[in-house]
Amino acid sequence: MSDTDFQQLRAERLAALRAAMARNQVDAFVVPSSDPHLSEYLPGRWKGREWLSGFTGSVGTFIATADFAGVWTDGRYWTQAEQELAGTDIKLMKIPSGASLQHIDWLAANLQPGQTVAVDACVLGLAVERLLRDALAARGIRLRTDLDLLDDVWADRPALPPNEVFEHLPPYAVMARADKLAATREAMRQLGADRHFISTLDDIAYLFNLRGADVNFNPVFVSHALVEADTATLFIGEGKVPAQVRDRLLADSVQVAPYQEAATKLSALETGSTLLVDPRRITAGMRAEVPKGVRVIEAINPTTFAKSRKLEAEAAHVRATMEQDGAALCEFYAWLEPVLRDPNRAPLTEVAIDEHITAARARRPGFVSPSFATIAGFNSNGAIMHYRAQPHSCAVIEGDGLLLIDSGGQYLGGTTDITRVVPVGTPSASQKRDFTLVLKGLIALSATSFPRGTRSPMLDAIARAPIWKAGIDYGHGTGHGVGYFLNVHEGPQSISPSTPPDPHTAMEPGMITSIEPGIYRPGHWGIRLENLVLNRVEQTTEFGEHLGFETLTLCPLDTRCLDLSLLRADEIAWLNDYHATVRARLSPHVDGAARAWLEERTRAI
């Protein structure tokens, strides 16, 4: 489809939406980037914001009125949104972070008393719904949450995904389902709850030791769950649970029920019962189903804490997975670099990078899928933080510059996420300076020690300090939690200035987090370096336990991009030690050109 045709299609969709709004006497319709499980990555059925606007980023809110349409998104997506919204009447509304709720302020300021805002409660987070309702009520604006206007205008809207689930089995599943359920019930008991409703897909996958393929890149499945004192119910699409898996669930007192019955089950809870829900991880629609006679306790899902704190046996599997992932990257880079040096080669595009890096991982044991869409951005495209190369528009990699590659894999023994930058031709002095500053940020945080329980957002400034000193900053968080053969982004920890330092963000042993500082120069180049690290108890003193980071990711950092004059002796020592570890851990898994590349790129400086 040509750009002109696509622009016309979006205009037709917006016109149809406005007609539906008029029929229902709605003055503003809100489409969040969300589903009934408040997921980051969405099944096709709930990609309404993308369907209406054409903006494909994973964070954003679409609002339409009779004479306005806009998408609110943060700095990671501004360049992408400008490109994808070009030629339409849909305006990019820039916000400081993905957690921003400036669209609520806009609604309150731009609508008049007596007007109506509509948003589907089935995809609206409870915590956000409360803020929205309060802000609109203060201005005399009505909020309706009983309408899903997308159903009125999206004729070929995708159905629920039909993929079967499968069990995550030993040796990789190191804790039995029955034990996880028992631990969850103990946490419920301590909070005073006899029932617990869960909607977040990675929490459910973790709790039941199940995995699926309903969402691209994340091995989860569309479902809800209700945990009670002696039983649990998994609400899931019919036909998605194979008979043998259903039998093993029943052996652990887990019933399987149709997905649509979750709301009915909530509405039938007995008066006097006590229900635990997480207000940040349940929709307003599901919360509204709970009868008034049920006492509701609001607290973070116990499974959110449990899955973030990897057991030692899980950490051992992740280390082994990192060796396989690192070996795959050695093979990939051993192929890539000679191609880049060959003056007679056929044109190499950013799309080809994704194909070859995924193929290298696919040859490794335990590989299941990529963990997100590979970002391969050459020069100016590397400055687009969540860039996705497309066959019709991707860059040809030629001349001098920098190639940023952010990629990852889902393996039975863990989830990987790594960013490296490769020089193409001869990097400039300015590029080397930026690369070295980013490396200094990576080293600064990787080498830090901090008291157990430190709120994760407080660590962000450590990585930024060397970059700030040069008068530079970057527009994304420094680190996110990473799952264990689960979502590549998970909480509760987040090393980001936009995350409130709430008690649940405390750093605890066993958490796996990314460290990924960057520098982006729009129109020129982007640099991001990313490793995954594991929280470990480093020392215990009279002041308590102090944690440090064990670097898990195993892949060389390209020393050809360094300005050595900017590195201190201790930073050079850290880099040499890291490269010695990478060489020792990966050498047994590679040979030939891949091993030669590994030895060359881990040579001490």
In a domain? residue 360: yes
Are both 381 and 464 inside the same structural domain? yes
d(CA 26, CA 143) in angstroms, rounded, equals 9
The answer to whether 176 touches 232, Cβ cutoff 8 Å, is no
In a domain? residue 161: no
Q: Which of 308, 313, 554, 560 is nearest to 425 (CA)?
A: 560
396 CB burial (10 A radius; 0-12, 13-18, 19+): exposed
The answer to whether 496 touches 460, Cβ cutoff 8 Å, is yes
Whichever domain contains 437, its CATH number is 3.90.230.10
Give this prediction's pTM. Answer: 0.93
Q: Which of 219, 218, 217 is nearest to 167 (CA)?
A: 219
The answer to whether 275 touches 28, Cβ cutoff 8 Å, is no
The answer to whether 376 touches 353, Cβ cutoff 8 Å, is yes
Tokens of 203: 């929490």
Mean pLDDT of the chain: 95
User: For 493, what's the count of Cα atoms within 13 Å in the CB-facing half-sphere?
Assistant: 34
d(CA 199, CA 220) in angstroms, rounded, equals 12
Per-residue model confidence (pLDDT) at position 388: 80
Mean local confidence (pLDDT), 359-385: 94
Are both 172 and 148 inside the same structural domain? no
Q: Which of 519, 542, 518, 521 is nearest to 531 (CA)?
A: 518
User: For 440, what's the count of Cα atoms within 13 Å in the CB-facing half-sphere?
Assistant: 23
- What's the number of domains the chain is made of? 3
Tokens of 182: 């028992």
Per-residue model confidence (pLDDT) at position 80: 85
In a domain? residue 507: yes
In a domain? residue 492: yes
Are both 199 and 282 inside the same structural domain? yes
In a domain? residue 23: yes
Handedness of CA 220, 226, 230, 231 (dihedral sign): negative
- The residue among 306, 329, 364 that closes a domain is 306
Buried b (16+ CB within 10 A) or exposed e, 115-137: bbbbbbbbbbbbbbbeebbebbe
Q: Which helix (H) or strand (E) holds 70?
A: strand 69-74
Lowest-pLDDT range of 13-22, 159-168, 381-390: 381-390
Are both 300 and 391 inside the same structural domain? no
229 CB burial (10 A radius; 0-12, 13-18, 19+): exposed
Residues 6+ apart with CB under 8 A from 488: 217, 218, 371, 372, 408, 415, 417, 482
Are both 567 and 593 inside the same structural domain? yes
**Cβ of 565: how many Cβ atoms within 10 Å?**
8
d(CA 337, CA 237) in angstroms, rounded, equals 47
d(CA 514, CA 506) in angstroms, rounded, equals 15
In a domain? residue 357: yes
Of the pLDDT bands very low, low, confident and very high (cuts 50, 70, 90), residue 229 is very high
Are both 329 and 429 inside the same structural domain? yes
Mean local confidence (pLDDT), 368-395: 88
Are both 597 and 459 inside the same structural domain? yes
Q: Which helix (H) or strand (E) holds 594?
A: helix 592-601
Are both 493 and 394 inside the same structural domain? yes
Using the predicted structure, report yes or no on whether residue 379 has a pLDDT greater than 70. Answer: yes
Q: Which domain holds residue 37?
A: 3-153
In a domain? residue 160: no
Whichever domain contains 201, its CATH number is 3.40.350.10
212 CB burial (10 A radius; 0-12, 13-18, 19+): buried
d(CA 475, CA 487) in angstroms, rounded, equals 22
In a domain? residue 159: no
pLDDT in tens, 401-417: 999 999 999 999 999 99
- The residue among 258, 276, 306 that closes a domain is 306
d(CA 496, CA 513) in angstroms, rounded, equals 12
d(CA 161, CA 433) in angstroms, rounded, equals 47
Q: Which of 56, 45, 57 is nearest to 10 (CA)?
A: 56
- The residue among 264, 288, 306 that closes a domain is 306
Using the predicted structure, report yes or no on whether residue 1 has a pLDDT greater than 70. Answer: no
366 Rama class: left (phi>0) / alpha (psi -120 to 50) / beta: left
Are both 190 and 60 inside the same structural domain? no
Strands 295-298 and 518-521: unpaired
pLDDT in tens, 535-589: 999 999 999 999 999 999 999 999 999 999 999 999 999 999 999 999 999 999 9
* 242 secondary structure, DSSP code: -
pLDDT in tens, 181-228: 999 999 999 999 999 999 999 999 999 999 999 998 999 999 999 999
Of the pLDDT bands very low, low, confident and very high (cuts 50, 70, 90), residue 423 is very high
Tokens of 507: 């750093």
d(CA 411, CA 389) in angstroms, rounded, equals 24
Are both 432 and 581 inside the same structural domain? yes
pLDDT in tens, 257-294: 999 999 999 999 999 999 999 999 999 999 999 999 99
pLDDT in tens, 439-458: 999 999 999 999 999 999 99
Q: What is the CA radius of gyration of the chain?
A: 25
Are both 543 and 589 inside the same structural domain? yes
Spell out the SS3 assignment of 320-371: HHHHHHHHHHHHHHHHHHHHHHCCCCCCCEHHHHHHHHHHHHHCCCCEEEEC
Are both 354 and 400 inside the same structural domain? yes
d(CA 192, CA 386) in angstroms, rounded, equals 42
